[in-house]
Amino acid sequence: MTFDVEKTRKDFPILSREIQGNNLTYLDNAASSQKPTDVLEGIKQFESNDYSNVHRGLHTLSVLSTSAYEESRKIVQKFLNAKSLEEIIFTSGGTDSVNLVASSYADEHLSKGDEIIITTMEHHANIVPWHFLRERKGVQIKWIDCDQNGKFDINQFEKAITSKTKLIAVTQMSNVLGASPDIKNIIDLSHSQGIPVLVDGCQGVVHEKIDVQKLDCDFYLFSGHKLYGPNGIGILYAKSQYLDRMRPWRGGGDMIKYVQKENITYNDAPNKFEAGTPNITGAVGLGMAINYFEKKIKEGLFDHELRISNYLHSQIKTVKDIVIYGEENIDSPIVTFNVEGQHPHDISTIIDNYGVAIRAGQHCCGPLMDLLGINASARASIAMYTNQQDIDNFIEALERSIALFN
CATH number, domain with residue 329:
3.90.1150.10
Residue 70 confidence class, pLDDT cut points 50, 70, 90: very high
- Do both 117 and 225 map to the same domain? yes
- Do both 281 and 365 map to the same domain? no
- Do both 63 and 186 map to the same domain? yes
pLDDT of 231 higher than 80 = yes
- Do both 281 and 316 map to the same domain? no
Chosen domain end from 227, 261, 294? 294
CATH number, domain with residue 166:
3.40.640.10
Cβ 379 vs Cβ 363: under 8 Å: yes
- Do both 163 and 286 map to the same domain? yes
Number of folded domains in the chain?
A: 2
The DSSP call for residue 285 is H
How far is residue 221's CA from residue 96's CA, in Å, rounded to a whole number? 9
Domain assignment present for residue 36? The answer is: no
CB neighbours of residue 58 within 10 Å: 6
Convert the pLDDT of each residue in 99-137 to its tens digit.
999 999 999 999 999 999 999 999 999 999 999 999 999
The pLDDT value recorded for residue 156 is 95
How far is residue 264's CA from residue 277's CA, in Å, rounded to a whole number? 19
- Do both 219 and 115 map to the same domain? yes
Q: Percent helix, strand and coil across the chain, each rounded to 5?
A: 45, 15, 40
CB contact set of 256 (below 8 Å; sequence gap of 6+): 264, 265, 266, 267, 272
Convert the pLDDT of each residue in 138-189 to its tens digit.
999 999 999 999 999 899 999 999 999 999 999 999 999 999 999 999 999 9
Convert the pLDDT of each residue in 271-320 to its tens digit.
999 999 999 999 999 999 999 999 999 999 999 999 999 999 999 999 99
- Do both 20 and 134 map to the same domain? no
- Do both 184 and 207 map to the same domain? yes
pLDDT of 1 higher than 80 = no
Chosen domain end from 259, 277, 294? 294
Mean pLDDT of the chain: 97
- Do both 143 and 286 map to the same domain? yes
Sign of CA dihedral 111, 114, 119, 120: positive
Cβ 150 vs Cβ 174: under 8 Å: yes
How far is residue 291's CA from residue 278's CA, in Å, rounded to a whole number? 21
Known catalytic residues?
364
The pLDDT value recorded for residue 381 is 99
pLDDT of 227 higher than 90 = yes
pTM equals 0.97
Q: Would you call 116 helix, strand, or coil by DSSP? A: strand
The pLDDT value recorded for residue 375 is 97
How far is residue 186's CA from residue 166's CA, in Å, rounded to a whole number? 14
Convert the pLDDT of each residue in 253-274 to its tens digit.
888 899 999 999 999 999 999 9
Q: What is the mean pLDDT of residues 195-209?
A: 99
How far is residue 402's CA from residue 406's CA, in Å, rounded to a whole number? 6
Query: What is 243-277 written as a DSSP string?
Result: HTTPPPSS-STTSEEEE-SS-EEEPPTTGGG--SS
Chosen domain end from 266, 294, 322? 294
The pLDDT value recorded for residue 100 is 98
- Do both 284 and 270 map to the same domain? yes
pLDDT of 56 higher than 90 = no
Domain assignment present for residue 188? The answer is: yes
Full domain range(s) for residue 249: 41-294
- Do both 260 and 347 map to the same domain? no
- Do both 102 and 230 map to the same domain? yes
